[in-house]
Amino acid sequence: MPPGRPPAPPRPGSAPRRPLVVASNRGPVQFEVSEDGSIEHARGGGGLVTGLTGALSSAGGLWVAAAMTDGDRHAAEHAAGDMEIADEDAKYRVRYLTPEAERFDRYYNVVSNRVLWFIHHYLFDAPRTPRFGRAVRAAWDDYVAVNREFADALAEEPGEPAFLVQDYHLSLAPLMLRESRPDALVAHFSHTPFAGPDYFRILPQAMGDAVLRGMLGADVLGFHCDDWAENFLLCCRHVEGARVDLRRRRVEIDGRSVAVRTYPIAIDAPALRRQATSPAVRRARRELVRWKGDAQMILRVDRTDLSKNILRGFLAYETLLNEHPRMRGRVRFLALLNPSRRAIPEYRAYTRDCLRAAERINAELGTPDWQPVTVVVRDDIDRAVAAYSLSDVLLVNPVFDGMNLVAMEGPTVNRADGVLVLSRNAGADALLGRHALSVNPFDVQETAEAMYEALHMRADERHRRAAGLRRAIGANPPVRWVGSQLADLERAAAARAS
Ligand code: G6P
């Protein structure tokens, strides 16, 4: 190697060189105390957990998260430190932090999910909300405190690990960690969209500034797609002392250089395909086949989140049935909704509104032997996978979404050459839009027409598009998402050393 030239960064996907320390609000496993008093755990699904636990087991390291359930708290208090997780395919340590309950509530339910989540998904009803007063400022202090707790836990890790901090819950932790460990190698990844600069300015200025500066404490900032990365850069133009290079996607601040990059997350497609052959999924599929009869099936699978646009999805379906009365009795809409964030009043009200809309459509358009919409509000992954495999149309129409994994999961196990109707405001559209029917999620008419087109698409075109979706999804394995971030961190380390 020529003198002075830094070592080449590892290829994405190659084994990580240094230990990893992951931080996220929700941990990779959920603990439960079983009847005999023993503590058991179940692993969360999704590409994030698969990608990161895989990398953690090969590099060694720790995952720091917040206790979310009584079981988590019990396990954390019982262990009083790190816990070893040994699953069949991954072995790593976890540490669950246990902030005081009210503090956690204000950090999670108020600042993270009612303020920052709303900002990044454009969810406020601007003439009326938000109304930032003293309460939100008090909650902000708890947000700062929990971020501090995370940063302190990370700073305790010895050696020179790569720190991988996840999401809007922990936007302050990178700078806090940097202050105690100036040489730390830190990446922060946003799984949400990032609001554009005008909308971001809804935040009280001190909070907005703290969020941006906090994230800029990292060496590498990751987003699911270019639009969110660009929005972040545009927001940073208002940070005093920061120099933003939009073309090179870098921010210079406090004598450091921060790379702003796009790393689209992936799903664990082989694991999902294996799950699709399990007895539980087969059973659920048999039930759904009976339920569906000869009708075509439109499917949606979502958390009951305001960002998912469930209500407009129903209205679009209603438009389709009104404009094409011949479709009545020939199509069924299945909405599988996973209850989410029920402590937040807006979420409860939204779920109620969605259910009422479905009931109204059923009452107005249904017949004794045909119910237009079936809504199931339950966390049932086996039923979701079974439904994915059978659906003719998968509707994924979020208002805004960082990526959206349903758009990847559905086509991976679908056996009916199902068509994807996909919001242009989902990060997934950058990856899959070519093979989907893309829609403006606010345009109910366009969404109705796309669903109609999907239901009537010629078999060869459906086949071509379904194959395209599977190819695009398969070309992006979870190891690449982690590997590319680690490669960029090594580049940052090399640049710092030179
Ligand atoms: C989004 C966020 C994640 C979060 C998930 C579920 O995907 O980016 O950080 O874990 O929603 O939300 P919850 O509040 O239940 O953790």
Residue 328 burial (C-beta neighbours within 10 Å; 0-12, 13-18, 19+): middle
Alpha helices in 159-278 (DSSP H): 173-180, 197-200, 205-215, 226-236, 269-276
User: pTM to 2 decimals?
Assistant: 0.96
Peptide bond preceding 130: is omega within 30 degrees of 0, i.e. cis?
yes
- Strands 61-66 and 20-26, by their bridges, are parallel
* Per-residue confidence (pLDDT) for residue 83, from 0 to 100: 95
Q: Which residues lie with the beta carbon below 6 Å from any ligand 1 atom?
A: 26, 167, 191-192, 340-341
pLDDT given at position 295: 98
| Three-class secondary structure of residue 180 per DSSP | helix
492: which 2 tokens? 């940052």
**Of 337, 302, 341, nearest in space to 114 by CA:** 341
What number does the ligand 1 atom closest to the CA of 24 have? Answer: 9
| pLDDT (0 to 100) of residue 4 | 39
Task: Report CA(23)–ligand 1 centroid distance (Å).
Answer: 13
> What is the C-alpha separation between 489 and 17, in angstroms, rounded?
11
> Which residue of 24, 25, 26 sits with most ligand 1 atoms within 8 Å of its CB, as the best mutation to test the pocket?
26
Ligand 1 pocket: which of 96, 164, 191, 223 to mutate (most atoms within 8 A of CB): 191
Predicted confidence (pLDDT) per residue in 357-409, tens digit: 999 999 999 999 999 999 999 999 999 999 999 999 999 999 999 999 999 99
Ligand 1 atom 7, closest CA: 191
Predicted local distance difference test score (pLDDT) of residue 14: 56
Per-residue pLDDT in tens (0 to 9) along the chain, 498 residues: 334 344 444 555 555 579 999 999 999 999 999 999 889 999 887 668 888 998 999 999 999 999 999 999 999 999 988 999 998 888 999 999 999 999 999 999 999 999 999 999 999 999 999 999 999 999 999 999 999 999 999 999 999 999 999 999 999 999 999 999 999 999 999 999 999 999 999 999 999 999 999 999 999 999 999 999 999 999 999 999 999 999 999 999 999 999 999 999 999 999 999 999 999 999 999 999 999 999 999 999 999 999 999 999 999 999 999 999 999 999 999 999 999 999 999 999 999 999 999 999 999 999 999 999 999 999 999 999 999 999 999 999 999 999 999 999 999 999 999 999 999 999 999 999 999 999 999 999 999 999 999 999 999 999 999 999 999 999 998 889 999 999 999 999 999 998
Q: Are 107 and 139 in contact (CB under 8 A)?
A: yes
The predicted-structure confidence for 45-84, as pLDDT tens digits, reads as follows 766 888 899 899 999 999 999 999 999 999 999 998 899 9
Residues 488/220, Cβ–Cβ less than 8 Å: yes
The pLDDT value given to residue 403? 97
Integer Cα distance of 129 and 127 in angstroms: 6
Give me 2's structure tokens.
Answer: 């020529």
**Count of helices and strands (H, E) across the chain:** 19, 18
Which phi and psi (to 5°) does residue 30 adopt? -115, 130
Q: Is 430 left (phi over 0), alpha (psi -120 to 50) or beta?
A: alpha
Which residue in the block uniquely carries the two structure tokens 């590409």? 47
Residue appearing with tokens 């020179």: 160
Q: How far is the CA of 378 from the centre of ligand 1 (A)?
A: 17
pLDDT at residue 44, rounded to an integer: 81
pLDDT for residue 16: 58
Neighbours of 152 (CB within 10 A): 14
User: How far is the centre of ligand 1, averaged over its atoms, from the C-alpha of 404 (Å)?
Assistant: 11
Q: Quick one: CA dihedral 313, 318, 324, 328, positive or negative?
A: positive
Taking the centre of ligand 1 as the mean of its atom positions, its distance from the CA of residue 168, in whole angstroms, is 10
> Collapsing DSSP states into helix, strand and coil, what is residue 14?
coil
